[in-house]
Amino acid sequence: MTPKNISIIGVPLDYGADRRGVDMGPSAIRYAGLHEKLRQVGHTVADLGNLTVPVPESRPASDSRLKYLDEIVKVNRTLARTVEKVLKEGQYPLVLGGDHAIAMGTIAGLLRVRPKMGLLWFDAHGDFNTEDTSPSGNIHGMPVAVAAGLSRTELASPFKGTYLDTAKIVYVGVRTLDPDEAEALRQSNATVFSMHEIDRYGMREVMRRAIDIVTDGTDGVHLSFDIDALDPIYAPGSGTPYSGGLTDREAHLALELLAEADVLTSMEMVEVNPILDEHNRTGELAANLIASALGHRII
């Protein structure tokens, strides 16, 4: 892999979900030795610290359909500007969450520089709900729909009218969808490799197909990795666990294949919840997965 100048951006956002604790995710991943792992691979690492995010206890959830809308929009606008600046300076953005609502800010910033970007979305869930379809009002279940231009709310404001081409969105590891969300995905041009396809074809073939899609005619590839893509046996520190997920080796293989292809131009790791974890197992797994995506090899 080509050595990269990596800029780490922590986003301790804890507004997008019902369960608390993911605001400590960036610290847990850093504590697991992330910086040293990346330097050992040969990358240069600069840590920009964490964006400022007020704690939820200081803000009421004003809208049950879009909980903490104003707070999430504010953080994502700041994140979009930060990611845009990092890219324009020739750096590789590595964003650490926080809940998956931060992906709106990350992707919005990326699209300002790479408007034809492809997206790889590793997740147990689709995150393709809108304000009209979400059964919970939790915004961490909406970022892909917003990035695809399907929201009519302020959530779309960081995108400034530039959205993802759904034909260049590829999901890996999905295993639970809300009914309306599933229908919306079927009507979109996104590609969904659920656990069924991974079981049926194997991770190597799934990643071959995924890489072909996200690199065809694009000007960059972003990896957004929700730790709940893995089975909770391997990643207990997740606020939305769902059985039947990826094994740790399947996840590492997928990211090792991405490193071999050297196609990623940015990355984020989200939803690590230390409160629910066991001796930082999930934080360490997240750090190791990031290292695999950025070129770490056993030998």
One of 14, 84, 99, 125 is an active-site residue; which one? 125
Compute CA 111 distance to the chain's CA centroid, rounded to the nearest angstrom.
15
Burial state string for 118-153 with b = 16 or more CB within 10 A and e = fewer than 16? bbbbbbbbbbbbbbebbeebbbbbbbbbbbbebbeb
Is-catalytic flag, 63? no
One of 181, 228, 250, 284 is an active-site residue; which one? 228
Q: Which two tokens stand for residue 168?
A: 């260049």
Residues 29 and 272 sit within 8 Å (Cβ to Cβ): yes
One of 231, 271, 277, 284 is an active-site residue; which one? 271
Is-catalytic flag, 35? no
Is-catalytic flag, 222? no
One of 14, 43, 131, 140 is an active-site residue; which one? 140
One of 84, 226, 231, 256 is an active-site residue; which one? 226
Say how far apart CA 28 and CA 205 lie, in whole Å.
32
Distances (CA, A) of 162 to 86, 148, 165, 191, 249: 19, 9, 9, 20, 36
Is-catalytic flag, 23? no
Which of 95, 87, 91 has its CA nearest to residue 11? Answer: 95
One of 14, 23, 43, 100 is an active-site residue; which one? 100
Q: What are phi and psi of 89, to 5 degrees?
A: -85, 5
Task: Find residue 97's DSSP bridge partners.
Answer: 11
Say how far apart CA 50 and CA 40 lie, in whole Å.
23
One of 23, 123, 231, 277 is an active-site residue; which one? 123
Active site residues: 100, 123, 125, 127, 140, 226, 228, 271
